[in-house]
Amino acid sequence: MKTYRVMAARLFLAALLVPSITHAQSIQTEPDVRAFASSPRWLTTKVYLEGAPDIDVKDKYPGVVGISMWDPDRNRYEFFYTDTGLSKYEHGGGGYFMVTGDGKTHILVPDKGPNRTVVRRLEALNNQAFTYSREVPRDMIETNAPVRIYVVHAPYTGTVQTTPSSAYAQ
């Protein structure tokens, strides 16, 4: 019995002397949805496939390429063609968006078009970059196997003028 008491006392003292260790995950800074407001417009600068960040495949994924506007105060977005500046609103290129509380998911809810909800993994969001990834059919051909694409945006400083639809402006 004395051996057990000595052993318990040693364990107790060891527990007091060893720094406490936590198994909780450290808090990571969440992307700031207000970063969307740091630029009035964002331009798709690169699209690449998972595992191949050095190969730009924008030409194979034109549906995700464009100029975008984000209003974080109203959670509204609208997309535009890069060559004409015309709105994509009538084809699902405008509506509401949200970033989940954990900062990992970016969800689009278009006002119009064939898709009702688009879920994207938020990779980066700050004043200089906005990057998301999502699974789509390879080369955007419905019968192809899915691949994960990464779509990179930067604040747009070009000369193409964009005019928001009345739904975005309201």
Domains of the chain: 30-169 (2.40.128.540)
How many angstroms separate the first and last alpha carbons of the chain? 80
Q: What confidence tens digit (pLDDT) does each residue in 131-163 have?
A: 999 999 999 999 999 999 999 999 999 999 999
For residue 132, count other CB atoms closer than 10 A to its CB.
Answer: 21
Query: Does the pLDDT value for residue 10 go beyond 80?
Result: no
Please compute the mean of the pLDDT values over residues 11-29 and round it to a whole number.
43
pTM value surpassing 0.85: no
Query: Does the pLDDT value for residue 68 go beyond 70?
Result: yes
